[in-house]
């Protein structure tokens, strides 16, 4: 898993290395293998909205819009739950639009072998 895909960005001045949108059913994997690998072994600082990285009293949309500009890239964790979740689709769309505009890396992790036809349009 130590490929160049997870090479730390050299962009300076941003608070987080990556913003990670995912669905609640995938939190065990996100907080387990992904977080352990990236934060502990690769020394990434991940933006995870439900961890409290965004202020608890902030509305989710407000938190999302305030959080993405603080990040160097986005790591989308795609699962069956993700492709059927309206909030996840919105979160992915906002994140992708932001990071495409910056020409930043967009990393997609496909947890459950989701086919191209099942992926949200914003990911394609």
Cβ neighbourhood burial of 92 (10 Å; 0-12, 13-18, 19+): buried
The closest of 98, 106, 90, 82 to 29, measured between CA atoms, is 82
Q: What is the pLDDT of residues 43-89, one digit of tens each?
A: 999 988 777 655 444 577 787 888 888 999 999 999 999 999 888 88
pLDDT of 39 reads: 96
Average pLDDT over residues 32-47: 95
- Give the residue extent of every domain in the chain: 14-123
Higher pLDDT, 23 or 5: 23
Percent of the chain exceeding pLDDT 70 equals 85
Architecture of domain 14-123: 3-Layer(aba) Sandwich (3.40)
């Amino acid at each position: 898993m130590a490929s160049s895909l997870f090479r730390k960005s050299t962009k300076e001045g941003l608070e987080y290395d990556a913003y990670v949108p995912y669905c609640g059913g995938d939190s065990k994997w996100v907080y387990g293998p992904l977080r352990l690998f990236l934060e502990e072994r690769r020394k990434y600082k991940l933006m995870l909205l439900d961890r409290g990285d965004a202020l608890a009293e902030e509305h989710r949309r407000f938190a999302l819009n305030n959080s993405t500009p603080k990040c160097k890239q986005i790591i989308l964790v795609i699962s069956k739950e993700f492709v059927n979740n309206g909030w996840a689709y919105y979160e992915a769309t906002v994140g992708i639009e932001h990071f495409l505009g910056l020409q930043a890396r967009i990393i997609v992790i496909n947890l459950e072998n989701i086919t191209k036809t099942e992926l949200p349009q914003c990911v394609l």
